[in-house]
Chains A and B, each alone.
Chain A
């Protein structure tokens, strides 16, 4: 039973993979957003 669970589950669990991408994705998105705001000056 334990073996079946092991083979069925992802390694690492999907939630950890998601957290990993959020860890880097959040600051990157914030940085992009801040930069994007600055670029709007170009089109004013």
Chain B
């Protein structure tokens, strides 16, 4: 029995389960750095020219593919690696994630140093992206097992870390680049190399301290059934459905659409938050203030992951998604009116609540999957549902940009074009509401007897 095997991670009696969320956070806080990758884009367009881009320098368009590749490989590795993660347990999966994520930085450091973009695509995009996907799903089942009474809170806490990862990754990268910058170097290669080391060490805490509960372990004062489950769930508590069977149920596709529509709408408005605030409040919101606005939205996004997901333990998953979609659609549709009223405070507040529910959509989905299909194959099912994220990552910005360009080309003023986008996103959320409404308990005939 090796250190990395699942058997080695089984907790001894009396283990304090509050050790587990920090182990999960060590992974999610690290991989959440992905959303701060754009901080490298501008310096990487001046690696040769230094003060301004030289003809041989990379363009922003070509650099944009690094992040896109990482998100695509996040979805693919979560989808194809989820079953493996469930089988080998959290420690081995977390180590694989740490090795891939750190190696992604190191390969990219070589790519920057030798000025070969394909190495960065391979490094951060492919290898790092695989680390993101494996890391994202690795602690979920463990958290649900340790907190059967509060699965929404437990997974919300970890996925909140993913939201917070960008807040740590961005200033860290800026500080390191400032430190390593010389008259002949932007300091990007050195920053990549050091960040690889920092994140590897940081994630190793999670690898070492993660524990799974012993079979039949229950939290103190917890009797038999999973409280949150019996109170709220659409499904029978004992039902355990395999990933293969889950894909034969309509609930799987409705859940996929629920995540896809929530993320498409969120990404659609998040991407244009800065420009939109400046267009709608000309003279009131400056470029610097808009950057502050985006920072504030990231705090709402992060807090929402914990708040709404924790609340779902009391309301039930289906009901909380009703709120995300109904309240979300209402708020999206209100933004143009608030813009016309020129009420900055209300605009910021509404946008903040929208972003909190966008993040919550990610955070609540693992507990929703567990409610419907049981926790046995939750890693694998979650991994496959996460392909909705990759799809939304492509569809969201494409949809928003295409419609906006078409509208402006048709003579619509830019500020009005934003209004149409918001109404469209509200409509998407209305469709999401219907998809969520159609999610019913899974037919027991899909249960797999040998799963636990």
Are the CB atoms of B26 and A17 closer together than 8 Å?
Answer: no
* Distance of A37 from chain B, by nearest CB (Å): 8
Q: Does B12 have its Cβ within 8 Å of any Cβ on chain A? A: yes
14 additional contacts, CB 8 Å, given A11-B15, A20-B209?
Answer: A11-B16, A12-B16, A17-B19, A23-B205, A24-B161, A27-B202, A30-B168, A30-B171, A31-B167, A34-B170, A35-B299, A39-B292, A41-B288, A42-B289
Smallest CB gap from B297: residue in A: A39
Do the beta carbons of A31 and B15 come within 8 Å of each other? no
Q: Mark A5-44, 1 if CB is under 8 A from B, else 0.
A: 0010011100011001101110110111011101111111
* B29 CB within 8 Å of chain A: yes
The residues in B between 281 and 305 inclusive whose CB is less than 8 angstroms from any CB of A are 285-286, 288-289, 291-293, 295-296, 298-299
Judged by a CB distance under 8 angstroms, whether B18 is at the interface is yes
User: By the criterion CB–CB under 8 Å, are A16 and B19 in contact?
Assistant: yes
- The answer to whether B292 touches A40 (Cβ under 8 A) is yes
CB-based contact B29/A42 at 8 Å: no
Q: Are B22 and A23 in contact (CB under 8 A)?
A: yes
CA–CA, A35 to B285, complex, Å? 18
Complex interface: chain B residues within 8 A of A10 (CB): 14, 16
Complexed CA–CA distance, A38 and B202 (Å):
25
User: A36: which of B22, B164, B169, B299 is its contact (CB, 8 Å)?
Assistant: B299
Query: With a CB–CB cut-off of 8 A, which chain A residues contact B205?
Result: 20, 23
Could you tell me the distance between the alpha carbons of A35 and B301 in the complex, rounded to whole angstroms?
13
Which residues of A are at the interface with B, using a C-beta cutoff of 8 A? 7, 10-12, 16-17, 20-21, 23-25, 27-28, 30-32, 34-36, 38-44
| A42 shortest CB reach to chain B, Å | 4
Task: Check if B171 sits within 8 Å of A31, measured CB to CB.
Answer: yes
- Assuming the A-B contacts A20-B19, A20-B23, A24-B25, are A11 and B289 also in contact, with contact meaning beta carbons closer than 8 angstroms in the complex? no
Judge whether B348 is part of the interface by a CB distance below 8 angstroms.
Answer: yes
Do residues A42 and B168 form an inter-chain contact, with CB atoms below 8 A? no
B295 and A28 within 8 A (CB): no
Number of A-B contacts (CB under 8 A): 86
Per the bound structure, the CA–CA distance linking A23 and B292 in Å amounts to: 27
In contact, A27 and B29 (Cβ under 8 angstroms): yes
Contact (Cβ within 8 A) B14 A23: no
Query: How many angstroms between the C-alpha atoms of A42 and B12 in the bound complex?
Result: 50
A12 touches B19 (CB 8 A): yes
The 3 residue pairs across chains A and B that have the minimum distance between CB atoms: A31-B167, A41-B292, A42-B292
CB-based contact A32/B292 at 8 Å: no
Total residues of chain B contacting the partner, CB 8 A: 35
- Flag B3-15 by CB within 8 Å of A: 1 or 0 each: 0000000001111
Q: Which residues of A contact B13 (CB under 8 A)?
A: 11
The reply to whether B209 and A32 form a contact with Cβ atoms under 8 Å apart is no
A38–B285 Cα gap in the complex (Å)?
14
- Could you list 18 examples of A-B contacts with CB < 8 Å? A11-B16, A12-B15, A12-B16, A17-B16, A20-B19, A23-B202, A24-B22, A24-B161, A28-B167, A31-B164, A32-B164, A34-B167, A39-B292, A39-B299, A41-B286, A42-B293, A42-B296, A44-B289
Partner of B167 from A16, A24, A35 at Cβ < 8 Å: A35
* Least CB distance, B307 to chain A, in whole angstroms: 15
Q: Choose from B29, B170, B296, B299 the contact partner of A24 (Cβ within 8 Å).
A: B29
Complex interface: chain A residues within 8 A of B298 (CB): 35
| In the complex, residue of chain B having the shortest beta-carbon distance to the beta carbon of A32 | B167
The residue in chain A whose Cβ has the minimal distance to the Cβ of B23 is A20
Cα(A28)–Cα(B348), bound, Å = 23
Residue from B15, B161, B171, B286 in contact with A28 in the complex, judged by beta carbons closer than 8 Å: B161
A11, B12: Cβ atoms closer than 8 Å:
yes
